Amino acid sequence: MTDSRVPRPRRFLVCEPRHFAVQYAINPWMHPDKPVDVDLAREQWQQLIRAYRTHGHTVDSVEPVPGLPDMVFAANAAFVVGGRVFGSLFHAPQRRPESVHYDTWFKAAGYDVHRPESVTEGEGDLVWTGRYVLAGTGFRTTREAHREAQEFLGHPVIGLTLVDPYFYHLDTALFVLDDDNICYYPEAFSPGSREVLKRLYPNAVLATREDAMAFGLNSVSDGRNVFIAPQAEALAERLAGHGYVPVPVDLSEFHKAGGGIKCCTQEIR
């Protein structure tokens, strides 16, 4: 079955964790009293970049800015489809300055950038499936932002409500495997949202709370290779059973800030 999975080359935007730290608490994972090993974080991040390039993906980088410790989480900065960039307006005031630097990078690269009026946090809550956008709400991104994204992008947006504060972004509870399927943790969603996902993806790979707490849902798939936290061993085995190839990359130092592989990875489509 593995040979039937076809990887698709991707282009990623990242930001080196030169100034990474946990200086405030804006999610249940963050504890400013627990020190971060910045050298280890940079080493882990470099391993991720090497893994992407080894598997044939292109990686671009935004220059990190002092005083913005969460800028490493590039996925939160924007949502890009068809060359259109739907920017971010972060919920937490500490992160709002990040948007300016990412917008500047995209504009310099020739992209059309939309500055949203409603709170929205990029690929943290907006997930491209190849046909439509799955959009999270409940903790960060607002429903108004879902409507704003649909108007700007011209693609259908399907709202999903998150209910567990540990999975405050959609990309901590769900990721796209390929154009036909997803992997997600059902209990992270409201009953109605679970029904929607069940109807859209009856053959989805389902994750447990243990998988999700290990940041197994904060993964990146190229259609065949799944870059996944090694701590999510059971989920990796389940994915392998469905024909995907797990590529373990340890970003455990970033878990202290509530982020992982996907959080550090913005996809440019």
Tens of pLDDT, residue by residue over 115-155, are 999 999 999 999 999 999 999 999 999 999 999 999 999 99
Half-sphere exposure of 78 (CA within 13 A, CB side): 32
The Cα 145–Cα 143 span in angstroms is 5
Half-sphere exposure of 195 (CA within 13 A, CB side): 3
32-90: pLDDT as tens digits? 999 999 999 999 999 999 999 999 999 999 999 999 999 999 999 999 999 999 999 99
* 91: annotated active-site residue: no
* 263: annotated active-site residue: yes
Report the pLDDT value the prediction gives residue 4, as an integer from 0 to 100: 83
Q: E strands, the chain, where? A: 11-15, 58-62, 78-81, 84-87, 112-114, 126-128, 133-137, 157-161, 174-176, 182-184, 205-206, 220-221, 225-228, 245-248, 266-267
Q: Which of 57, 169, 183, 264 is catalytic?
A: 169
pTM, two decimal places? 0.97
198, two tokens: 């069940």
**Residue type (1 letter), 161:** T
Residue 239 contacts residue 24 (beta carbons within 8 Å) = no
Flag whether pLDDT at 268 surpasses 70: yes
Tokens 């243990």 -> residue: 210
Half-sphere exposure of 126 (CA within 13 A, CB side): 34
CA 209, 136, 118, 85 dihedral sign is positive
